[in-house]
Structure 1
């Protein structure tokens, strides 16, 4: 009986943590430096683009 209660408590706490952890993460960049000059699609960035 004790193991069943422990399993129930652990299961509920894991579900609670999973629900509380879901959400949206946003990041606002003030500056970005592309040292290699390569875009995300592996093409070179055009010269002088900001």
Structure 2
């Protein structure tokens, strides 16, 4: 059985939309380099941001 890791030991990034940090998830293992958004909500809001 593989050794468990703490969430604090996992790599993290900053969301391109909301600016919050988010941690690595197993479902992102193959394409972690391309992940830019923390959630579907932020990914959907990228094109909706109003111009000042």
TM-score, normalization by structure 2: 0.20
Larger CA Rg, structure 1 vs 2: 1
* TM-score (structure 1 length as normaliser): 0.21
Q: Which structure shows the bigger proportion of residues in strand conformation?
A: 2
User: Higher RCO, 1 or 2 (CA under 8 Å, sep at least 6)?
Assistant: 2
